[in-house]
Amino acid sequence: NKQVILREYVSGYPKESDMYVTTGTVKLKVPEGSNAVLVKNLYLSCDPYMRNRMKPATESYIGSYTQGSPIDGHGVGKVLDSAHPKFKQGDLVWGVTGWEEYSLITQTDYLFKIEHTDVPLSYYTGILGMPGMTAYGGFYEVCSPKKGEYVFISAASGAVGQLVGQFAKLLGCFVVGSAGSKEKVDLLKNKFGFDEAFNYKEEPDLDAALKRYFPEGIDIYFENVGGKTLDAVLLNMRAHGRISVCGMISQYNLDELEGVKNLVLIIAKRIRMQGFIAFDYYHLYPKFLDTVLSGIREGKIVYVEDIAEGLENGPAALVGLFSGRNVGKQVVMVARE
Ligand code: NDP
């Protein structure tokens, strides 16, 4: 059983060498009297929150990894054996699993059976899985969006951002995204249908850039990066604007967090700023799946993923999120079936 192990806790930017691949053993049978499910992992999801689990216990909503043990995350697998009444051999599932070839899953609260296989299975690590639910809950539930509103999204071409932008366009909003390369900006404009997009790395003055794209200000900011971007956005928010705080990836590798200078503007502008976790909205999964699957089938929603092949390429793919190496949702393929 090939596994990805966290060598030791990480400070600063994570490196491929912070993890290593080794071979352990696994019993291909679930223990008697358990509720466990044994899966063969097919696709693993690279998610920015995994960086926060590579440090010693923090105030995070989710625990740290154990040094010298396999890491885990979201993934798609095939059930080889099950003692759980909801899952049987041959079922395809998505949920939290190990970064390894075979996993014995004992925490089955967030394990979902995959019923629709007319789309690629890897989609359940992204657009039809946790990041998709993040976009759905974080946009519709947190932002209270209305047709015609001005929407800005950072890290817009990634797993979450690309879907938020498309939801906003489908609703009839004016949508601008920022991303870190020309290739990503082209994707935003030409593939995902954003009205405008810009490369934040080429904008010496983010405030001026936002004023150019939003002369009348921003109603909704979908926050994925934090730091300087949030500061510039606050200067450009309209009265009664909403900020959905999904993530702040620019802060995850810092030993000391950056301050946000312009927070005081929240008062006069009556801004509502709310953090959330994807799990908060999992009760909406059936409705979400219906909406997004029909969107994909009808060609109204498109999706871009970046697939690294082989578990041994997992560490590089995961750390690549923090240099923006991924173009679209970063996935690791462990096995095709
Ligand atoms: P992405 O697919 O967008 O990958 C991460 C991207 O972030 C990179 O490709 C890079 O794109 C950008 N990035 C990396 N470092 C920086 C930086 N210092 N400044 C600005 N941008 C940077 O990831 P996801 O879509 O999966 O996640 C997006 C955000 O959503 C993250 O903050 C994540 O933590 C959060 N999240 C929150 C969840 C929740 O439940 N609240 C659940 C899932 C995700 P670029 O080239 O454009 O810089």
Q: Ligand 1 in contact with 159 (CB < 6 A)?
A: yes
DSSP code of residue 318:
H
ipTM of the predicted structure? 0.99
Helix (H) or strand (E) holding 177: strand 174-179
CA distance 272 to 293: 31
Closest C-alpha to ligand 1, atom 34: 247
Helix 182-190 and helix 159-171, axial crossing angle in degrees, nearest 10: 30
Q: Ligand 1 in contact with 324 (CB < 6 A)?
A: yes
Q: Ligand 1 in contact with 5 (CB < 6 A)?
A: no
pTM: 0.97
Look at phi and psi of residue 130 and say left if phi exceeds 0, alpha if psi is from -120 to 50, else beta.
alpha
Model confidence at 59: pLDDT above 80: no
Confidence class of residue 18 from pLDDT cuts 50, 70 and 90? very high
Which pLDDT value is given to residue 60? 72
Q: Ligand 1 in contact with 177 (CB < 6 A)?
A: no
Give backbone dihedrals phi and psi of 13, rounded to 5 degrees, phi first.
-70, 135
81: Cβ–Cβ under 8 A, 6 or more apart, which residues? Answer: 28, 29, 30, 37, 38, 89
Whole-angstrom CA distances from 156 to 14, 49, 50 are 22, 17, 19
Q: Ligand 1 in contact with 126 (CB < 6 A)?
A: no
Q: Ligand 1 in contact with 161 (CB < 6 A)?
A: yes
DSSP code of residue 243:
E
Confidence class of residue 27 from pLDDT cuts 50, 70 and 90? confident
Which pLDDT value is given to residue 14? 98
pLDDT tens figures, 177-236: 999 999 999 999 999 999 999 999 999 999 999 999 999 999 999 999 999 999 999 999
* Least confident among 60-64, 197-201, 286-290, 298-302: 60-64
% of residues, the chain, pLDDT over 90? 95
Which pLDDT value is given to residue 6? 98
Nearest ligand 1 atom, CA 155: 47
Distance 140 CA to ligand 1 centre (A): 19
pLDDT tens figures, 126-173: 999 999 999 999 999 999 999 999 999 999 999 999 999 999 999 999
Model confidence at 336: pLDDT above 80: yes
Closest C-alpha to ligand 1, atom 36: 247
* Mean pLDDT, residues 77-87: 97
For CA atoms 141, 223, 53, 5, the dihedral sign is positive
Nearest ligand 1 atom, CA 48: 34
Closest C-alpha to ligand 1, atom 33: 247
Distance 48 CA to ligand 1 centre (A): 6
Nearest ligand 1 atom, CA 326: 9
The neighbour count for residue 122, using CB atoms within 10 Å, is: 23
Confidence class of residue 62 from pLDDT cuts 50, 70 and 90? confident
pLDDT tens figures, 89-114: 999 999 999 999 999 999 999 899 99
Which pLDDT value is given to residue 32? 87
Q: Ligand 1 in contact with 129 (CB < 6 A)?
A: no
Average pLDDT in the chain: 97
Distance 270 CA to ligand 1 centre (A): 27
Confidence class of residue 303 from pLDDT cuts 50, 70 and 90? very high
